[in-house]
Structure 1
Amino acid sequence: MHKKDLWLAVLILVVGAIVYMRNPLFISPINLGNTANLIGLFGLFAIGQAFVIMTGGIDLSVGSMIALLGVLFVELVGRLGVPWPLAIMIAVMAGTLMGLAHGLLITKLKMQPFVVTLCGLLIYRGVARGYTGEATAGFPFGASFPGLEWVTIGRTLGVPHSFIAMLVLGVVAWFVLHRSVYGRHLYAVGKNEEAARFSGVRTDLVITSAYIICAVLTSIAAIYFAMFTRSVQPSSHGNFYELYAIAAAVLGGFSLRGGEGSIVGVILGAVLIQQLQNLVNLLGIPSSLNFAVMGGVILAGVLADQQFNRYRERQRAARAFEALNHQAAATS
């Protein structure tokens, strides 16, 4: 575990202790189960966002993608009667194509990630609203999908399956990012894309694959969200969810400049964000302040990252200066 991850884990424990002292319901089974479910839901696409941020990019279309894919999944299963395993495959394939489009526009046409994904945010939300005619897409009244419900909103030993899915995919993502050649290439591209290209790394492929991974994990999260809410209102479903993902990644030590971060960190970041949301609810703080809390969290995370990097640069410069002094003394 990195030092940043350790400090974040300590912060989570401290915040949890403070909330518990103010409201003992914090550790009630119902509250812990609901919080774990939300951590799983938001953690899924936060891990995907982390892969994109690792390249020095960003994906602002996550929330709109969740809305559009949610509408698609509900329509396939609820209205068209498509078997849910096939509907899941279609939704994930649609998400994969969105991620591929983002990656190709960024790498082949050299467009800025901010512009590409901002356009995606507007297009996907607009398509979802236009397709439904601003109406809510939902499952038929009284409809039941036993196998699908067990996979998405079921629990094992009290642990929500969304949380378990996040942990399983988090382990896979950890091995991909930290123990594979692809992961090393991803770090290299984030640190210095041009240097990575001259080193033989296929930078366009690495960047495009990062956007595809983000879109695939987002599409999985969209299915879980659709089953959790049982309906999708295209104008509001998934609004600002990209901010939660970015905040989780930043809190987890991912630098917005790229080339830094750990999967453990982004999961801990997702835990802290939902813990703060839980704090707002349990302490009776107006829910209208949720976004103010989120903005403060992102600001604090970026400031902490900048200060840490400056401190590290000063330490590196001091060590280099000391080494030069030793070398000069040895040769004199």
Structure 2
Amino acid sequence: MTTTADAEVPATEPDEIPQQRQNPVQAMLHAHPSLGPFAVLVVAAVVFEIINVRFFNPANLSIMLQQVAMIGLLALGQSIIILTAGIDLSVGAAMILSQMVMAGLAVNQGVPGLLAFLIGLIAALATGLVNGLLVTRFRVPPFIATLGTLGVFTAVGLKYANGQTITPSGGNFLLWTGKIIKLGTFHITTGVLIMLVAYILVGVALGRTAWGRHVYSVGDDLEASRLVGIPTTRVLFSVYVAAGVIFGIAAWVQIGRVGDASTNISSTLNLDSITAAVIGGISLFGGRGVVVGTLFGALIVQVFQNGLALAGVPDLYQQLAEGVLVILAVTVDQWIRKVRR
């Protein structure tokens, strides 16, 4: 028998349960991961122009673009690895090894520049192959695997170069990436154009191909991807190999930019590549981000370094600013990941 009290209580349908309202900014940044880094880049550039009117000088902009080309490529390779929830601590060593092989063959063995470049590119591909095998075949965590190969690749590069700085002769194919293209008072190098083309190709591959969808899926949930039939081992292996090729291209760009090959390059290349990717919205937890954001991230790092230098800020505080940017980027990423998919 139904009582009056029971009759007065309406049944609650599942779709009538109140839903928590999403923060529109949070949802927008989740849907467009590169929007945040782009906004930071624009604001930073405007602020530094206000501080020093030389910031937007065409010559200064040209220098910044040339300097960001190599780090931009390293960050691109790092990004596709991070998208799978991995990380590569050997990117700098792989690039240095590759450029020493290229320059050493061209200068010391008299190998034609184009052939030397291709062999050096294969050497970089081999570093990615080694990392990929360690992660997929031997199940070594990416952090540990690439920390180990960092030492291996560094030692091999130093042994091959024998502590020398190798300078290709003028007109060598290896120096082509340093060729300057003049657009009035603004100068750009072929190395910068190569970097932009690489970003376009990788962006299309990630956004328009099955391989790209699999990369995101593996980074989001490896086990679920395996259960639905995605060849997770092959995807992970291909990512490390592709990153190795990109590091080889970065080596070529670096030779053209400075005019020689040396092992005495910044010891922070690995951290710089991670920094650019993280600031650019690539989630360290995998499965979220776009590579155009990485390009914005690399530009942000360069803008801060250049802008603070023009403002007369000591190097110590430039490093402090970069560290704060990374912390903020990771914090924002954690906040954005709370959005319901």
Q: Distance in 1 between matches of 2:94 and 2:79?
A: 16
Aligned-pair identity (%): 31
For 1:291, the equivalent position in structure 2 comes to 319
Q: What are structure 2's unaligned runs of at least 5 residues?
A: 1-28
Aligned to 2:108: 79
Task: Give 1 or 2 for the bigger CA radius of gyration.
Answer: 2
- Corresponding position: 1:154 with 2:183: no
Pick the aligned partner of 1:165 from 194, 205, 214.
Answer: 194
Q: Deviations over 1:140-190 (max 9, x none)?
A: 6xx312554333343253222222111111111111001110111111100
Code of the aligned partner of 2:290: S
Poorly superposed stretches of 4+, deviation over 6 Å: none
Q: In 2, distance between residues paired with 1:7 and 1:297?
A: 12
The answer to whether the 8 Å contact 2:177/2:252 transfers is no
TM-score (norm 1): 0.88
Task: Note the 1:41-80 alignment, pairs <5 A.
Answer: 41-80=70-109
1:262, distance to aligned residue in structure 2 (A): 0.4
Aligned to 2:218: 189
**Structure 2 residue identity aligned to 1:151:** T
CA distance in 1, matches of 2:303, 2:34: 16
Amino acid at match of 2:90: S
Pick the aligned partner of 1:32 from 47, 53, 61: 61
Q: In structure 2, what is the Cα distance between the partners aligned to 1:130 and 1:185?
A: 38
CA contact (8 A) 1:79 1:139 kept: no
Deviations 1:285-315 (A, max 9, x none): 12244433332221111111112223x14xx
Counterpart secondary structure, 1:4: coil
Choose from 261, 273, 290 the match for 1:245.
273
1:312-327 correspondence to structure 2 within 5 Å: 312-313=339-340
Q: Is the 8 A contact 1:74 1:137 kept in 2?
A: no
**Shift of residue 74, structure 1, vs aligned partner:** 1.6
Q: Distance in 2 between matches of 1:231 and 1:167?
A: 22
1:6 is aligned, of 21, 35, 41, to 35
Q: Distance in 1 between matches of 2:175 and 2:260?
A: 14
RMSD, aligned α-carbons: 1.8
1:218-257 to structure 2, matched below 5 A, reads 218-234=247-263, 236-257=264-285
Q: Distance in 2 between matches of 1:191 and 1:225?
A: 33
> Could you list the runs of 5+ residues in structure 1 that have no partner in the other structure?
317-332
Match of 2:171 in 1: 145
Q: Is the 8 A contact 1:196 1:203 kept in 2?
A: yes
The question of whether the paired residues in 1 share the 8 Å contact of 2:305 and 2:318 is answered with yes
Alpha-carbon distance in 2 for matches of 1:126, 1:147: 27
Number of equivalent positions: 309
> Counterparts of 1:123 and 1:290 in 2: how far apart (Å)?
31
Q: Is the helix fraction higher in 1 or 2?
A: 1
| Structure 1 residue 7: Cα displacement | 2.6
Aligned partner of 2:292: which letter? V
1:147–1:76 distance in 2 versus 1, CA, 3 Å? closer
SS of corresponding position for 1:164? helix
Q: What TM-score, normalized by structure 2, do the two folds share?
A: 0.86
